[in-house]
Amino acid sequence: MSIFEPLHDFFLRRAVKKLNESASTTRLVRERVESKIGFVYPGANFIDSIQIADQSVGYVDYGINPLGDRLYINRIKVEPGRQQQYIGLHVLWLLWLKHGLPIVPLNQNTGYRTRRRLVAAGAQIGDELRSDEQMRLEQLRWQHLLPKRH
């Protein structure tokens, strides 16, 4: 056991506690599940409403690949008046808690501070996939699961 492990564990517990407290008023409510041809096909794509105090303040569009080993964030949309309230951070944390999968943003920046807070609490955040080439290379991991075309 490293002499730094107790210190690491202390800060990890503290980061988790802070995120749990700050995200406690945010809920994700499932609106739709789709399995259509797209980036994660034949995986599932989800649209969840973001709710605070039973009011919708936006939505998150995400998918889980057919291997079930990554969660891809397509879009987090928050009402303009609510954008400086860390709602995106809370959504990512709730998705991490629910699915326990590495989160990979597609064509968007998670921001250094958001990424740092999530990683400090033990969440796994992958690098953003920004180009069509990066996305194509990622899709190659599950192409063997696609139905054969005749």
Domains of the chain from N-terminus onward: 5-143 (3.40.630)
The three-class DSSP label of residue 67 is coil
Number of helices (H), then strands (E), belonging to the chain: the values are 4, 5
Q: What is the pLDDT of residue 150?
A: 57
Contacts of 89 (CB under 8 A, 6+ apart): 19, 22, 23, 114, 117, 118
Q: What's the whole-model pTM score?
A: 0.89
- In tens digits, the chain (150 residues) has pLDDT values of 677 677 667 878 888 999 999 999 999 999 999 888 888 988 999 999 999 999 999 999 999 999 999 999 999 999 999 988 999 999 999 999 999 999 999 988 888 899 999 999 999 999 999 999 999 999 999 988 887 765
Q: What is the pLDDT of residue 79?
A: 95
Neighbour tally for 52: CB within 10 Å: 15
DSSP state of 114: H
